């Protein structure tokens, strides 16, 4: 096999609290790929442009009410509807950088504290989605993110919820993905520094993983 012929792209996800700098960092990471002449595509979840995404948008803006399980499944469906695109991009050698993916889905729903919607239930509809090659959680104290111009008026943008979300992400930082590799579900990165400093720290984590994908060491995208 000629590895160059079979080279897939990587699938990298940035996670973080609202106002943690995720979107900024996703763009900066994208630029690095562009500068290196590596094909790259940025995506974000929820993708509010689809019909399902518009329902989610209405929920987040408190225009419509939705039962906790129902909105959870819509967030998940919003990922499932993007799977064919993600797979096609990665297969053609394009690296996909996603601003949130299924870890947000599981964590935000579990953080609501609804006893009928625990972590295990929340994880189930995400089974079979492409598993990112790396998930970096930009870790910041919610007091700090609140200072950054504060949160808007969207659902979940309150201190208590953000605290619980942060704790669940930090727990995932200690959890193995459950195969032989010993990889963690999430890599927790201190995002308290300046924009350039954080960008550099992210790149130090991501670059070797991308290079491993390029060398064919990580096989095909796992589920």
Residues forming contacts to ligand FDM in the complex (CB under 6 A) are: 18, 45-46, 60, 75, 100, 104-105, 108, 156
Distance CA 206, CA 136 (A): 9
Phi, psi of 158 (to 5 degrees): -145, 155
Site pattern 62..101 for Mg ion (x: CB under 5 A): ----------------------------------------
Q: E strands of 77-178, at which residues?
A: 95-99, 134-139
- Name the residue with the smallest CB distance to Mg ion: 18
The site partner of 105 among ligand FDM, Mg ion, none (C-beta below 5 to 8 Å per kind) is ligand FDM
Nearer to ligand FDM, 25 or 104 (CB): 104
Q: How far is the CB of 83 from ligand FDM (least distance, A)?
A: 14
DSSP string, 71-117: HHHHHHHHHHTTHHHHHHHHHTT-EEEEES-HHHHHHHHHTT--TTS
Q: Which two tokens stand for residue 92?
A: 């053609």
Whether the CB-CB separation of 169 and 15 falls below 8 Å is answered with yes
Q: How far is the CB of 31 from Mg ion (least distance, A)?
A: 22
Distance CA 84, CA 89 (A): 9
């972590």: which residue's tokens? 119
Q: How far is the CB of 180 from ligand FDM (least distance, A)?
A: 28
Q: How far is the CB of 34 from ligand FDM (least distance, A)?
A: 22
The site partner of 104 among ligand FDM, Mg ion, none (C-beta below 5 to 8 Å per kind) is ligand FDM
Phi, psi of 93 (to 5 degrees): 95, 5
Nearer to ligand FDM, 17 or 210 (CB): 17
* 4-43 residues near Mg ion, rule: CB under 5 A: 18
HSE-up (13 A, CA, CB side) for residue 90: 25
The site partner of 16 among Mg ion, ligand FDM, none (C-beta below 5 to 8 Å per kind) is none
Q: How far is the CB of 29 from ligand FDM (least distance, A)?
A: 16
Could you give the maximum distance between any two Cα atoms of the chain, in Å? 54
Distance CA 13, CA 44 (A): 9
Q: How far is the CB of 201 from ligand FDM (least distance, A)?
A: 21
Residues that bind Mg ion (CB under 5 A): 18
């Amino acid at each position: 096999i000629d590895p160059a012929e079979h080279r897939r792209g990587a699938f990298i996800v940035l996670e973080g609290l609202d106002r943690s700098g995720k979107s900024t960092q996703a763009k900066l990471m994208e630029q690095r790929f562009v500068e290196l002449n590596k094909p790259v595509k940025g995506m974000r979840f929820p993708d509010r442009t689809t019909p399902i995404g518009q329902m989610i948008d209405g929920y987040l803006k408190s225009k419509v009410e939705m039962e906790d399980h129902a909105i959870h499944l819509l967030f998940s469906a919003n990922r499932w509807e993007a799977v064919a695109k993600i797979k096609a991009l990665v297969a053609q050698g394009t690296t996909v950088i996603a601003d949130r993916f299924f870890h947000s889905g599981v964590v935000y729903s579990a953080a609501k504290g609804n006893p009928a919607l625990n972590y295990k239930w929340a994880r189930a509809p995400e089974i079979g989605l492409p598993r990112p090659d790396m998930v970096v959680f930009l870790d910041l104290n919610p007091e700090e993110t609140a200072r950054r111009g504060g949160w808007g008026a969207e659902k979940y943008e309150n201190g208590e919820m953000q605290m619980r979300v942060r704790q669940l992400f930090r727990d995932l930082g200690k959890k193995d993905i459950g195969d032989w590799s010993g990889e963690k579900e999430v890599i927790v990165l201190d995002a308290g520094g300046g924009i350039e400093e954080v960008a550099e720290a992210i790149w130090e984590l991501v670059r070797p993983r991308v290079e491993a994908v390029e060398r064919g060491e990580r096989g095909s995208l796992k589920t």
